[in-house]
A = this chain, B = another copy of it.
Amino acid sequence: MTPVTLLQQAFQQTIYPVSGHGKRNIQVLKEVLNHCEDELDSDNYGSGPLIEDFQNDMARFFGKESAVFFPSGTMAQQIALRIWCDAQGIKKVAYHPLSHLEIHEEGGLKELHQIEAILLTDQDKLIRLEDVVQLKEDIACLLLELPQREIGGQLPAYEELVAISAYCREKGIKLHLDGARLLEVLPYYQKTAAEICELFDSVYMSFYKGIGGIAGAILAGGEAFTKESKVWKRRHGGDLISLYPYILSAAYYFKQRQFKMGQYYEEAIELAALYNDCPAVETLPVVPVTNMFHVHIGLPKAKLEALLVAMYEATGVGLTAYLKEVSETSCAFEVWIGDRYGQVPKKELAHAFEWLKTALRAV
């Protein structure tokens, strides 16, 4: 069994956890099902109104011809890249060095699809047009992740996206959007999802990040592309007889949170400012461009852990359940804003950050 750390324990006992939507317990699914009729028929291996209607809604939302529901983004994105590689007759794609495909998928793209990935730019930077122009090898597809999660959810300027898209179209390079957090970028760009997706040949979005569903993802693109993706979904073992627990929760929480991303974004800016006001603390980016950012604190892990546990106990406010050791003298963690932030009384939050500031000064 996975051991629970002291920090996790302390975080779980706080009255005011600050990050995310809430606990991932089965109440999240019960609430969805309680809003559905008992007699609602399951989807059936990718067919039936329950899945087809939702896919059609999502295709319209993205401004694409069609869309396919997948159990996971890992599966959806490998398949998207495989289809583009097969279409182009090139077994190479390019993406960021900290792409989900590179660091979280056990090399599935290589092991299952024999696709080689060219890593663009330094891992702490965003991909720029010049990185794409300077590519010396032919690639079938470029994958862009918006926002770039592993560097705090940074975003390129919209004009840069347009330029990359135009360049790829000119060169015949397919452009795929890792839009795991697609809704979360719309307030910054002040664009609709369809306006962003128009720049891409294919798009994936996750349903359990900002949307807060149980699991699952959607892949959208042209009719021929999505049709082929269904064949690969079957091959991967993702064409389940019933995906409805994920589909129903995706639809339910999408509707509930679709228009809350602007609020989360503003709250992220507010919270990041509180962090940046503390000694030895810096957020990445300093001013968030979505509902997420990373917090870097210049303290050794064990020391910071003890400090945070004490803070949670003293203030009832919980900042994070884990710490990533960056070096012997610094740690980092991810913050993303969901429903919880709005439930924390401003007074309690201010008090907690005063506590943190004082404690950090005393270190």
Contacts and interface: CB of A to CB of B under 8 A. Distances in A.
Nearest to A36: B26
B106 A234 contact: yes
Contacts of A14: none
A29 B237 contact: no
Nearest to A244: B26
Interface stretch (A37-45, A119-127, A162-170, A254-262): A37-45
Contact of A49 (B1, B28, B214): B1
A72 B245 contact: no
A211 to B, nearest CB: 13
A2 B248 CA distance: 20
B71 A238 contact: yes
A208 interface: yes
Contact of A112 (B1, B72, B113, B240): B113
A361 interface: no
A231 interface: yes
Interface in A96-132: 105-108, 111-113
A97 to B, nearest CB: 19
A25 interface: yes
B41 A75 contact: no
A235 interface: yes
Contacts of A235: 74, 105-108, 111-112
Interface in A59-112: 70-76, 78, 105-108, 111-112
B108 A234 contact: yes
A111 B231 CA distance: 11
A215 interface: yes
A44 B24 contact: yes
Interface string A233-254: 0111111111111101000000
Contacts of A72: 237-240
B236 A108 contact: yes
Nearest to A112: B112
Interface of A: 1-2, 23-30, 33, 36-42, 44, 47-49, 52, 70-76, 78, 105-108, 111-113, 208, 214-215, 231-232, 234-246, 248
